[in-house]
Amino acid sequence: MSAFTANEMMTIAASRALKGSDVCFVGIGAPSAACNVARLTHAPGITLIYESGTIGTAPDVLPLSIGDGELCETAVTTVSVPEMFRYWLQGGRITIGFLGAAQIDRFGNINTTVIGDYARPKTRLPGGGGAPEIATSAQQIFITMAQSKRAMVDRIDFFTSFGHGEGGDHRKRLGIDTAGPTLLVTDLAVWKPDPATKEFTVVSLHPGVTREQVQETCGWPVRFAATVEETLAPTALELQTLRDLKARTEAAHKAGASAGKRGSKDG
């Protein structure tokens, strides 16, 4: 059980940042995996909220989308999307917004809209959904993503979700009174914003990772904290919980796909 992948390390390191008292607005994909590992291990009291309006969700498998029936079936309650955003999110009741990104810059600004020129894109991405509102209204923002020079860029192609803008007090100057991105967890390291400049800085390297590897997969000159720690390796419980969750998810989705094919033939 001691061996683990970089992706497992990323998910588990991200999950550790959550507390049982958090009310967390969960993004699909890697954020969802991290939040549910936290719920199943050290933070059983955490309240997970998904964009479709499900509150207190406790899925047995990871959802494919915010419309996955598993979310509503396991939620304490489900409210309308306008209520979710106006009362819960804009009302300041969300402690953590947990997001992923296609592109991110050194100040935590996120692009999930388009790669390349907006009018003539190289790639059209899924879009922002509720992420722009989460980025400004949740008390803090956590981000998780795999490192690459394509993803971690000097300047993002499109501002989908506002992080710290140009750095410093940019959020405050715009009248945004929430903290913004306070944590970035990648498959190589843990990053936190510099208190003054708000530029993401490496504070912890995952086991076996070098500074050179971090720089090679980042599109801007990486800053390292004065003291860089080593991320604690996953425990047996954390690894087993994550792997069991992934196994249940894979089995459920395969079963669903097979049922869909049978239904199509019968029809």
| Rounded (10°) angle between helices 236-266 and 30-40 | 120
pLDDT reading at 234 higher than 70: yes
pLDDT (tens digit, 9 = 90+) per residue, 99-130?
999 999 999 999 999 999 999 999 999 888 89
Residue with tokens 């003539």: 120
Active site residue 83: no
In the set 51, 70, 133, 238, the catalytic residue is 51
So what's the pLDDT on residue 205?
A: 98
> In the chain, what are the domains?
6-266 (3.40.1080.10)
User: 163: closest CA among 103, 119, 217, 232?
Assistant: 103
Residue type, 208: G
- At position 34, the amino acid (one-letter code) is A
Sequence-distant (6+) residues with CB within 8 A of 27 are 97, 98, 99, 100, 131
pLDDT tens track for 204-231: 999 999 999 999 999 999 999 999 999 9
- CA dist 211 and 202 (Å) reads 9
Name the residue with tokens 């990486």.
Answer: 222
Q: What token pair was written down for 139?
A: 């008390």
Q: What is the pLDDT of residues 22-73, one digit of tens each?
A: 999 998 889 999 999 999 999 999 999 999 999 999 999 998 888 888 899 9
Query: What would the pLDDT profile of 68-105 be if each residue is shown by its tens digit?
Result: 888 999 999 999 999 999 999 999 999 999 999 999 99
- The predicted model scores a pTM of 0.92
